[in-house]
A and B are shown apart, each in its own frame.
Chain A
Amino acid sequence: GAVVSQHPSWVICKSGTSVKIECRSLDFQATTMFWYRQFPKQSLMLMATSNEGSKATYEQGVEKDKFLINHASLTLSTLTVTSAHPEDSSFYICSARKNLGTGELFFGEGSRLTVL
């Protein structure tokens, strides 16, 4: 158990458009999910903490109006990259923590965004 799925796994879009990425916990409930960004050959950078039923908490330097996060249910969080630009091209990874777990994070497979 403890599977986290992201969709889409790869998306290409034109500059100025918005892109939505979904993160689902398939077999457990997660009040808290996390969104990370990974640049090539670099580590994961935490962007925001997504909280079910309330506003997301963004890390310093992350534009909340640019990266909209919605956590409408205990199994789904979405990240919308608004008015995407080429510099937003990256690998976005979500993770989820089981509500009644040990604190371990389970990661999605990641979503590669390419903005032309």
Chain B
Amino acid sequence: AQSVSQHNHHVILSEAASLELGCNYSYGGTVNLFWYVQYPGQHLQLLLKYFSGDPLVKGIKGFEAEFIKSKFSFNLRKPSVQWSDTAEYFCAVNRRAAGNKLTFGGGTRVLVKP
């Protein structure tokens, strides 16, 4: 079965700390990869995406993610978080062979302490 796994359900860290959120998917073939963020009280918005090319992708608000095909991973990173990064982060995979449907990971709630 298709699956997208996010390793941490909750992360708590202090401002200026570095953040890394893991994401793994379980199927082969051509995939597009996404990270979405949901700030408290707001709807999902795209942080970054990978379709092809350079596996290191830079997104908005200082986030980046690295696609490692051999590890089926697409981990999200930010070198120095801010209180405003408190949100829930979702990894999503779009498998073209499956009709371009997005499958989401379970989400990771990140709390940044001021």
Interface residues of A (CB under 8 A from B): 32, 34, 36, 42-46, 49, 57, 93, 95, 97, 102-105, 107-110
Q: A43-B90, A44-B90, A102-B51 are in contact. Are A107 and B43 (CB under 8 A)?
A: yes
Are A93 and B49 within 8 A (Cβ)? no
Are B101 and A44 within 8 A (Cβ)? no
In the complex formed, the residue of A with least CB distance to B44 is: A107
Other-chain residue from B43, B100, B106 in contact with A108 (beta carbon distance below 8 A): B43
Residues of B in contact, count (CB < 8 Å): 21
Are A103 and B43 within 8 A (Cβ)? no
B interface: dominant SS: strand
Known A49-B101, A93-B44, A95-B44; 11 more pairs at CB < 8 Å: A32-B100, A34-B101, A42-B106, A43-B106, A44-B44, A46-B103, A103-B94, A104-B46, A105-B46, A107-B45, A110-B43
Q: A102-B51, A103-B32, A103-B51 are in contact. Are A46 and B46 (CB under 8 A)?
A: no
Interface CB pairs A-B, < 8 A, 15: A43-B104, A43-B107, A44-B90, A46-B101, A57-B99, A93-B44, A97-B100, A102-B49, A102-B51, A103-B32, A105-B34, A105-B102, A107-B36, A107-B45, A110-B43
Are A103 and B100 within 8 A (Cβ)? yes
With the chains together, A107 CA to B103 CA distance in Å? 14
- One digit per residue, 1 when the CB lies within 8 angstroms of any chain A CB and 0 when it does not, for chain B 60-95 equals 000000000000000000000000000000100010
Are A104 and B49 within 8 A (Cβ)? yes
Interface residues of B (CB under 8 A from A): 32, 34, 36, 42-46, 49, 51, 90, 94, 99-107
Residues of chain A lying within 8 A (CB to CB) of residue B90: 43-44
Task: State the 8 A-B residue pairs at the shortest beta-carbon distance, nearest first.
Answer: A107-B44, A109-B43, A43-B106, A44-B104, A43-B104, A43-B107, A107-B43, A104-B46
